Amino acid sequence: MRAIVIHSARDLRIETREVPEPGSGQVRIKMAAGGICGSDLHYYNHGGFGTVRLREPMILGHEVSGHVEALGEGVDGLAVGDLVAVSPSRPCGNCQYCAEGLRNHCENMRFYGSAMPFPHIQGAFREVLVADASQCVRATGLTAGEAAMAEPLSVVLHGTRRAGEILGKRVLITGSGPIGTLAVLAARAAGATEIVVTDLEDNALGFASRVGADRVINVAQDSDALAAYQAGKGTFDILYECSGSPQALAAGIAALRPRGIVLQLGLGGDMTIPMQMLTAKELDLRGSFRFHEEFPTAIALMQNGSLDVKPLISHTVPLDQAQAGFDLAGDRTQAMKAQIAFG
């Protein structure tokens, strides 16, 4: 089978790997679609992010779906031919945090396509994947591309849970990449009455408008556009900070009303926080990292029509054009979510 392997920054190769057989409790999946994530782009463009660096070749990818091809011993609830979304979250189930129900904080997490541990955890951008049956959620009624969106949608659903009560609230979202745009869908479904989105690119903001944002603001063109929302003691109840930019965080905090919630989803390295404003307004700063139990919910919400992610899938390229797909995914003037088609 073929797989998409990163060796170092800008050194992306399509290589051959052996096709494994499923063991007990596992399934073999013929991959159909894989979304290129921001972390994949960090490995492709920079060889890593922060202190996390590539130290050996690694198969990329963790936003994937495919069709069940073979069942290992003891697998129930799945059948050959089923379209499944595959969760990349594989907690150990035995550490302190797994025992506390905080599986996204597992001390021995095996998350597809991660160079955090060494040896690296190989990813899922391959023509055939063997996965635990427990990772697989049937995606009947969805397209393969939609099913592959379950992973980023799960990230946003986890963040929305961390934000708390949203019904009737006014929401600001800074950063309209895939996570920020999915946050529009999640916040609206949770009952937000007003959603304003900021970004530096009109193309990205156009997607936010299409999925239901009440107002979009290009802060590169109008740096004072949030001033009206920052007047007095602020306007918004909840900030989804999805850009990882300290400037966006500061502007968003200034636009929050007292006792608002700052939900930090964007990962941009260490950020300077306007602590005095955070303190004076009695704001809550809440981090959000990965997900676990939200994954089946993401599939169910797409299946029942509560959340429509199709408008976010802007481009699909075949496996043999993977490098072009990565270049496209990194071009925010064109792409929102670029996916690889494996079939």
Could you tell me the CATH number of the domain that includes residue 199? 3.40.50.720
Q: Is residue 136 part of a domain?
A: yes
The whole-number pLDDT of residue 226 equals 96
Q: Specify the pLDDT at position 270.
A: 82
- pLDDT for the residue 135: 97
pLDDT of residue 313: 98
How would residue 283 be classed by pLDDT, with cut points 50, 70 and 90?
Answer: very high
* CATH code of 318's domain: 3.90.180.10
pLDDT confidence bin for 268, thresholds 50/70/90: confident
Which strand ranges, in their side-by-side order, compose the sheet holding 194-199?
215-218, 194-199, 170-174, 236-241, 256-264, 284-287
**Residues 182-231: pLDDT tens digits?**
999 999 999 999 999 999 999 999 999 999 999 999 999 998 999 999 99
Q: Is the distance from CB of 3 to CB of 59 less than 8 angstroms?
A: yes
Query: In the chain, where does DSSP find H-type helix?
Result: 38-46, 96-99, 144-148, 150-163, 178-189, 202-210, 227-230, 246-254, 275-280, 295-303, 322-329
**Would you give the distance in Å from CA 149 to the centre of its chain?**
8
What whole-number distance in Å separates Cα of residue 331 and Cα of residue 325? Answer: 10
Alpha-carbon span 286 to 263, nearest angstrom: 5
Residues 184 and 227 in one domain: yes
Same domain, 38 and 98: yes
Residues 34 and 172 in one domain: no
Residue-wise pLDDT for 97-115, tens only, equals: 999 999 999 999 999 999 9
Pairing of strands 58-59, 2-8: antiparallel
Q: How confident is the model at residue 237 (pLDDT cuts 50, 70, 90)?
A: very high
Sequence-distant (≥ 6) Cβ neighbours of residue 292 within 8 angstroms: 87, 89, 91, 103, 104, 158
The C-alpha atoms of residue 115 and residue 164 are separated, in whole angstroms, by 32
Write the CB contacts of 237 (distance below 8 Å, at least 6 apart in sequence): 169, 170, 171, 256, 257, 260, 261
Q: What average pLDDT score do residues 114-125 get?
A: 96
Question: Do the domain assignments include residue 99?
Answer: yes
Judged by DSSP in three states, 271 sits in coil
Give the pLDDT band (50/70/90) at residue 343: confident
If asked whether residues 248 and 193 sit together in one domain, one would say yes
- Looking at residue 201, its pLDDT comes to 97
Which helix (H) or strand (E) is 172 found in, with range?
A: strand 170-174
* Domain coverage including residue 317: 2-149+309-341
How many domains is the chain built from?
2
Whether 299 shows a pLDDT value over 90: the answer reads yes
Report the candidate in 242, 238, 240 with the shortest Cα–Cα distance to residue 256. Answer: 238
Would you say residue 242 has pLDDT above 90? yes
Look at residue 112 and tell me if it is in a domain.
yes
DSSP 3-state of 318: strand
Please indicate, yes or no, whether residues 131 and 245 belong to a single structural domain of this protein: no
